Every structure is written in structure tokens, then in C-alpha cells.
Amino acid sequence: MGRYILRRLLQLVPVLLGISLLVFAFLHLIPGDPAVTMLGDRATPDAVEKLRERMGLNEPLPLQYLTFLGNLLRFDLGTSIFTGVPISKEILQRWPATFELSVVAMAIALVIGIPAGVVAAVRKNSLVDNLAMGGSLLGVSMPVYWLGLLLVYLFAVNLQWLPPSGRIGINASFAPITGFFLLDSLIQGDFKALGDVLSHLILPALTLSTIPLAILARITRSAMLEVLSQDYIRTARSKGLKEFWVIGKHALKNAMLPVVTIIGLEFGTLLGGAILTETIFSWPGIGSWIYGGILQRDYPVVQGGVVFVAFVFVLVNLIVDLSYAFLDPRIQYK
Amino acid sequence: MAIASPQTRQARLLKNRAVQRFLESTSGLIGLGLTLFIVLAALLAPVLNPYDPATDRDYAARLQGPSLEHWFGADGLGRDILTQVWYGLRTSLVIGLVAVLIGLLIGVALGLAAGYFRGWIETVIGWLTDVMLAFPSILLAIAVVTVTGPSVVSVMMAVGIVQIPKFIRLTRSMVLSLREQEFIQTVRAFGARPPRIVFLHILPASLAPLIVQSTLAIGTSTLEAAGLGFLGLGAQPPTPELGTMLSDAFKGGYSLTAPWTIVFPGLFITLTVLAFNLLGDGLRDALDPKGSR
């Protein structure tokens, strides 16, 4: 097992190098001078030269890449052109917001998606199955930001039940400790803040959960259908086991392996895909920050944000791979 | 009268079975109907709706709700939303189709090479695929458009590039399973050269899953292209595009006061993606029954 983990970690090296190379290449493939593009056409040659110097653009390309790589290893992703704040500091500050939103969205997807998939499989071709699968197809076909805009219009503007944007009310007297507001409000026993944080989370988390929810329902259904046709399920039934236990204990446990893969993949996608949802809800996470970087042509922000999200995505997938060992003892790690 | 050879008869039988399976698939039929409706609407836009989406403005109708005159209402510049959606559908469809074509051509070529030649070619292509798949697709697309600058062509390229690794993986796995099969070994034993084996024997045998994947990819590409449009990286004004329409409504704050500015563009993105997803499901039922669940 230890050797397997080591081998998987070693396999990551070329992929991580590839990511860094690709992201580095993007900045250097931008037509024209990146410094001019960032500062605009009206920038003075002196300002352009200063920025080129600051960004190390006057060095030979291979040296620039090595510097970039070295900085990356030290989690030094440069500074934002517009705010002057180091990218790594900004990421650490914004990461809890994105992570919290993704976790809550995934929780919603799990709580609704898996039972929906199980029921659809058990009642195959019934009205419930058709509704669940129709809903799931709609979920993957709908632009999430559109759903977000509709939810804001309905629940924030029209009904005024929930706030339209942000993480916490502007008048809230709340001092975060970890940056994870749900956790912080619980630690401090501040239930007023907890309610405030939850009310801000509901709409963006619901919006973000649509795609993983739809995919999880589909995958759970198909995995369950496969398991339910196996001999051991027939045996369990024939020995008189109650249907609840056949489904809940024997079938569901064995159907979970493909579901766990999808949970990992989707969680990785959530962390990166939150860019659209965060933009709609002015959620102060990594996604809305990258969006701001795009609008302001702040390339170090876009570069740093993209490289960070890609690394997280790769790491999440690694954790999923490794978790198989605990879930399915039949898998041998040679 | 010519007599059909056993092979031709078998091919016809398989084709008939596939058509029959497609006709039995409810999702496939609904998908086909919706796709035809959307494609026809997009093709006939200039004939059925003679307004110019870019220049026809009626400032008096600014942000007016749906009415007999403006079925889908008017946007913040007094443009008819129905006209915008109609022409926007054309842009979105063209982007989706061209993007898939880019992904298909490059992805299949690399997948064939990786699967057939193996060795270092496979290692390099495999590495490239892993690296590309390490980016959440919207981020990879954003990175590409950041380089090329926002435009319809950039979006086609960006969304097309995102599709490449998916086609590489599919084609490579098809080639790997086919190359060891008897009919390929026979052709090889008769001295056929690699290009002939790959293009005349392996590729035709991989067509069914590729058709299914391409159809589904048109849906995802349309969705991703609209996402880029929403981020302001897509078609630039005055070219109408569904994602850009949503972006304008959001940035202008109209999404909070004039919901029709968001309802209709979003609805048509959803319908387009749904159409291709349903059609893809139906085609999978028909062409690749083992792959459908």
C-alpha cells in the first residue's frame, strides 16, 4: 500500500510539470507584449519597461520557466498587477470561501442525488424513475449561472426570503477565525451569525450542486441496476432478507465504488467550476477572483488561480484513487 | 438482378436493427425532434425574422415585457429579445459544431496514433491528455481565450481544445481493443500498411462510439461556449450570442428587474443542450447498445 501511494505520487510529477509548462506557455503565447497588454496601449515605454523587468520578461525563456517553477515550489505565484497583493496570500484568503461553498454544494448533491438514484433503480421504469432521470438530464443541460440568476430573481428579489449575494450580512459583527464561516460561527457559539451564513450559502450552494447532483443520481442508478442483477442479491432475497436490508446493506455498499469516483471528480470540478456561480453571487472565493482577473487583464491572477485550481483538482483525484483501498479490499495494489 | 453478398446483407441487417432501436428510443426521438426544430430555426432565422439583431432598436420599448409586438420582450438597448435569441442560437450552434469538429479531428488523429503505434508516441500523447484533463474544462477554455482574445473564433478553438483529450481517450481505447482482433490481424498478415489498416479498417469500426460522443459533445460545447460568453470572453457586440445576452442582462442589473432578459436566452441554451443530450442518448441506444445503461 505504501509503495502504491509512493508510485502514485511519483506519477503526479510529470502531470504537475505539464500543468506548470502549459500555464507558463499561455502567458507567453499572448500575442504582443504581455506588459503592454496589461498596462494598455497608452502606457509610457518607461512603465512598460519597468513592468517587463518586474515580471522577469527580459530574461531568456528557459530561465523564465525555471524561475517560474522555482517560485511555484515555494508557493510564490507573483503579485497581482492591480492590487499589488501577493497571489498566494490572496489564494489562502479566498480558499476557505470556495472550499466551504463546494463542500455544502457536494453535501446537497449527495443527500438528494444518491437516494434519487437508488429509488430510480429500485423502481426502474416507474414514474419516479422517469422523473428522476428527466430531472437529472435537465440538470446537466442547464447553464448553472442561468439557474443562479433565476433563483436570485425568485428568492432574493421577488420573495425576499434569502440574500442575493455575499457570504454574510454587511452589518454582521462577526470575527472569522479559520475563514470557514460555518465552522467559525459554530466554534464561537454565535447562532445568529450561523443563521446569517447559512442563509447566504443556500442559493449559491443549490446552484453549484445542480450538475454533481444530476450526475450522481444517474451514476447511482446505473451502478445500483448493475448490482441488483447479481446473484448474491438474489440469494439475499431468497433467504428471506427484508428488501430494505437487501438494498441498503448489500446492494448500496457495492454500488458505491463508481459513485465515489464521480464524487471525487465532481468535487474537483466544483472547486474550479465555481467561477460562474461565484460570479453570480459575488462570492468572495477563488472563482470570482479569477473572473476579476480576466476582466482587468491581471494575468498573474489568472495564471496563479488556474495553476492552483488544477493542482487541487489533481490532488483530489489522487485522494479518490487512494480511498479505493479502504472501500474495496479486493483491489490489489501491486 | 444483382445478388447482395453475405457481408452486404449483414451490414444492412445491422443498420436496420440500429434504426429500429433508435425508433424505439423515446429520448432519441424527442432529441431528434428538438434538434431538427433548433437547427431549422437557426437556419431560417434571416428568412422568417427579417430584423437585423444588431441594428434594429426601439428605444421606446427599452426593457418592455413580453407583448404581441415583442414576444420575448425587449432588452436594455430596446432590441427585440426574440430576434436576439433567434440569431444567438445560430452563433451558439455554429460554435458548438465547429468546436466538436476541432476536437474530433485532432483527438481522433492523436488517439489513432497513440493506440496503433504505442511506444513513446503513446507515452507523449498520454501525458498531454493527462495534463489537459487536469484542468477543469471551463478553466482550460478560459486560459485559451485569455491567449487568443475574446471572439467567436477564440471560443470555437477554446471549446474545441477542451474536447480533444476526451476524443483521444475514446479513440485510443477503441484502437487498443480492435488492433488485437482477428480481422485486423488478418489484414496485417496480408501485408497491409499501417495507414491503410488504421483508416480503412480500424477507423470505420470505431465510428459508432465516435458518433455518440460527438453528438453529446455538441451539447457540452454549446454549454461551455455560453459560459465563456457569460464571462465576457465570447462573441463581442453586436454579434448576438446566448451566453453574452445573459452576461449583458446580469452586468446591466436587468436580471433583477426585467426577468425576460434572462429567461429566454437561458431557456434556449438549455433546449439546445437538452436536444443534443437526448439525441446522443438515443444514438447510443441504437449504435452502441452495450454502452447504454
Please tell me which of the candidates A15, A157, A272 has its beta carbon nearest to residue B139.
Answer: A272
Give the integer Cα–Cα distance in Å for A257 and A252: 10
The radius of gyration of chain B's CA atoms, rounded to the nearest angstrom, is: 23
H or E element, residue B49? none
Contact (CB, 8 A) for A288 and A282: yes
pLDDT given for residue B191 in this prediction: 84
> How many C-beta atoms lie closer than 10 Å to residue B219's C-beta?
24
Average pLDDT taken over every residue of chain A? 85
pLDDT given for residue B1 in this prediction: 45
Task: Return the closest-CA partner of residue B35 out of B273, B262, B222, B220.
Answer: B273
Tens digit of each residue's pLDDT (9 = 90 or more) over A237-273 = 888 888 888 888 788 888 888 888 888 888 877 876 6
Q: Which residues of A touch B139 (CB under 8 A)?
A: 272, 275, 290, 306, 309-310
Interface probe with B: pick from A28, A33, A149, most Cβ of B within 10 Å = A149
For every residue of A133-170, DSSP letters joined together read HHHHHHHHHS-HHHHHHHHIIIIIIIS--S-SSSSS-T
B290 touches chain A (CB under 8 A): no
Give the integer Cα–Cα distance in Å for B166 and A226: 25
Q: Which residues of B touch A30 (CB under 8 A)?
A: 146-147
First to last CA, chain A: 8
Q: Is the pLDDT of residue A72 over 80?
A: yes
Grid cell, residue A183, equals 465552522
Which residues, in sequence order, are CB contacts of A45 under 8 Å at separation 6+? none
State the ipTM, two decimals.
0.86
Amino acid of residue B92 = S
Give the integer Cα–Cα distance in Å for A57 and B287: 53
Q: In this prediction, what percent of chain B has a pLDDT beyond 70?
A: 93
pLDDT tier at B289 (50, 70, 90 boundaries)?
Answer: low
Q: What angle do CA B9, B10, B16 make, to 5 degrees?
A: 90
Q: Which residues of B touch A21 (CB under 8 A)?
A: 131
pLDDT tier at A334 (50, 70, 90 boundaries)?
Answer: very low
SS3 B80: strand
Q: What average pLDDT does range A192-221 have in this prediction?
A: 93
Lowest mean pLDDT among A195-209, B85-99, B103-117, B128-142: B128-142
Q: Is the pLDDT of residue B291 over 80?
A: no
Which residues, in sequence order, are CB contacts of B4 under 8 Å at separation 6+? B12
Give the integer Cα–Cα distance in Å for B92 and B152: 9
Determine whether A100 is exposed, middle or buried from the number of CB atoms within 10 Å of its CB (0-12, 13-18, 19+): buried
Q: What average pLDDT does range B73-90 have in this prediction?
A: 84
Determine whether B274 is exposed, middle or buried from the number of CB atoms within 10 Å of its CB (0-12, 13-18, 19+): buried
Contact (CB, 8 A) for B228 and B234: yes
Task: Return the closest-CA partner of residue B90 out of B153, B151, B150, B45.
Answer: B45
A225–B135 C-beta distance less than 8 A: no
Domain ranges of chain A: 93-279
Quick one: closest CA in B to A268, which residue? B136
Count Cα atoms within 13 angstroms, Cβ side, for A40.
5
Determine whether B290 is exposed, middle or buried from the number of CB atoms within 10 Å of its CB (0-12, 13-18, 19+): exposed
Grid cell, residue B267, equals 431557456
Q: Is the pLDDT of residue A326 over 80?
A: no
Say how many residues make up chain B: 293
Q: In this prediction, what percent of chain A has a pLDDT beyond 90?
A: 32
A153–B259 C-beta distance less than 8 A: yes
Please tell me which of the candidates A275, A276, A310 has its beta carbon nearest to residue B134.
Answer: A310
Domain ranges of chain B: 14-54+69-291
Give the integer Cα–Cα distance in Å for A95 and A91: 6
Please tell me which of the candidates B232, B255, B273 has its beta carbon nearest to residue A153.
Answer: B255
The architecture of the domain spanning B14-54+69-291 is Orthogonal Bundle (1.10)
Q: In this prediction, what percent of chain A has a pLDDT beyond 70?
A: 94
- The answer regarding whether domain A93-279 maps to CATH 1.10.1040.10 reads no
B233 touches chain A (CB under 8 A): yes
Q: Is the pLDDT of residue A8 over 70?
A: yes
Please tell me which of the candidates A225, A268, A291 has its beta carbon nearest to residue B231.
Answer: A291
**Cα→Cα distances B81→A135, A253, A296, B84, B256, Å:** 27, 50, 29, 5, 17
Contacts 24+ apart (CB under 8 A), A89-93: A90/A289, A90/A301, A90/A304, A91/A286, A91/A304, A91/A305, A91/A308, A93/A179
pLDDT tier at B205 (50, 70, 90 boundaries)?
Answer: confident
**H-only helix segments in chain A:** 2-29, 34-39, 45-55, 61-73, 87-122, 127-141, 144-151, 181-187, 191-228, 231-238, 243-245, 252-280, 286-295, 299-327
H or E element, residue B2? none
Q: Is the pLDDT of residue A32 over 70?
A: no
Which residues, in sequence order, are CB contacts of B273 under 8 Å at separation 6+? A140, A141, A142, B219, B220, B222, B223
Q: Is the pLDDT of residue A319 over 50?
A: yes
Q: Which residues of A touch B131 (CB under 8 A)?
A: 15, 18-19, 21-22
Which residues, in sequence order, are CB contacts of A10 under 8 Å at separation 6+? none
Which residues, in sequence order, are CB contacts of A168 under 8 Å at separation 6+? A174, A181, A193, A196, A197, A200
- The conformation of residue A42, written as its DSSP 8-state character, comes to T
Tens digit of each residue's pLDDT (9 = 90 or more) over A16-26 = 898 888 888 87
**H-only helix segments in chain B:** 6-24, 26-48, 81-117, 119-133, 137-148, 152-179, 182-189, 194-196, 203-205, 207-230, 242-251, 254-257, 260-287
For every residue of A90-119, DSSP letters joined together read HHHHHHHHHHHHHHHHHHHHHHHHHHHHHH
Task: Return the closest-CA partner of residue B198 out of B175, B182, B180.
Answer: B175
Q: Is the pLDDT of residue A332 over 70?
A: no
Q: pTM here?
A: 0.87
> How many C-beta atoms lie closer than 10 Å to residue A288's C-beta?
22
**If you search the block for the grid coordinates 496514433, which residue do you land on?**
B113
**Cα→Cα distances A209→A53, A204, A213, Å:** 44, 8, 6
Average pLDDT taken over every residue of chain B? 85
